[in-house]
Amino acid sequence: MVVYYYHSFVQIIVTGCFGFIGFNFINYLFSNYSNDFKVLGVDNLNNNCSSINKKLFNNKNFKHVNLDINDIDQLESKNIDIIINFAAQSHVDNSIFNPKEFAHTNVQGVISLLNYTKSNKIKKFIHMSTDEVFGSSSVNKFKENDKFNPASPYSASKASAEHFCKAFRKTYDQNILILRPCNNYGIFQQPEKLIPFSILNTIKGGNIEIYGEGKNVRNWIHVNDTSDAIIKLISESPENEEFNISTDYFLDNLSLAEKIINFSNLPKEKITFVKDRPGHDFRYATDNTKIKKMGWKPKYDFDESLVEIIDWYKSNTKWWSAEYEKTLKNRKKRFTLDT
């Protein structure tokens, strides 16, 4: 059951609405709660995939504004109940070579959104962070209040953004939720990320490239399960809290590559080991007890979903081809610290 505010529907600003998680979220939202929300989507369409996503989406309760979050003050809006911030630079490899860009979007951009929320007296700000703010743990799972230990410019920028969120809570008495999802997977994920990049390499006749020995472990969650968790938290309306959004499904990168090879009916020789990236965290893991106690739990099976994802990328070459070529060019920078 979705919570209602002062009018017959919840009015939301969704930033990064045509990125991977943001786009899946608005699709999930309107597929399941079509009459409960009105959404103003903010996205600067900074890549080809986002531009295509805009063309694919149409709903009478949705409007898009082409705007960078650092320029959010240019947006005139009234009676907004919630801002959900998906906008971010999110690829660790890219952050190693361009940390300033990550600080600009992930830190300064969040400050701009927080100021906008305060100035317009918006009731709630939901910030999408990451499990990577805690750093690596070989055995344990991090709880919401554990110490941060970011290891990459990306995770450092997300940790910094969280500190500003907490400061705005205390200084300006703002209602801010911080959500820390683990590694999301699903369709519409940009080619630079591990799962789609690996799939696309095989589609193009190449090999899956695995950093180091492939022993690094990640915790995986379907993007629709993440969307469902966000809806749950909107419905339950907790205030000024942090929530880990994760599953109990862990997989090392080599095993992931082997699954893609197996489901694609390709030989194991299609896996190639390449030089590890600098500062590569070994294992991310967060405790999801808190959100499970609210009645949420993940529903999607990884293997079943992976088969569907492989088929989707095979059937949607026009969606990913331009960004894939750009990713290949950027990929050459990732094996050296020289910029």
Active-site annotation holder among 28, 116, 154, 300: 154
Q: Which element (helix H / strand E) includes 166?
A: helix 153-172
Report the SS3 class of residue 10: strand
> Do the beta carbons of residue 84 and residue 42 sit within 8 Å?
no
What is the C-alpha to C-alpha distance for residues 203 and 321, in angstroms, rounded to an integer? Answer: 11
Supply angle C-alpha 240, 289, 177, rounded to 5.
15
Question: Considering Cα of 68, then 232, then 177, then 185, what sign does the dihedral take?
Answer: negative
The total of other beta-carbon atoms located within 10 Å of residue 280's CB is: 15
* Residue 132: active-site member: yes
- What CA–CA distances, in Å, run from 145 to 165, 283, 290? 14, 18, 11
* Residue 154: active-site member: yes
Q: Which element (helix H / strand E) includes 126?
A: strand 124-128
Active-site annotation holder among 93, 131, 242, 323: 131
**Tokens for 257?**
């590559």
Per 3-state DSSP, the chain is made up of helix, strand and coil in percentages (nearest 5) of: 45, 15, 35
* Residue 287: active-site member: no
> Do the beta carbons of residue 14 and residue 25 sit within 8 Å?
yes
DSSP string, 283-307: B--B--HHHHTTT------HHHHHH
Active-site annotation holder among 132, 162, 225, 228: 132
Q: Which residues are within 8 A (CB) of 53 and not within 5 positions of it... i.e. 6 or more apart?
A: 18, 23, 188
Give catalytic residue positions: 131-132, 154
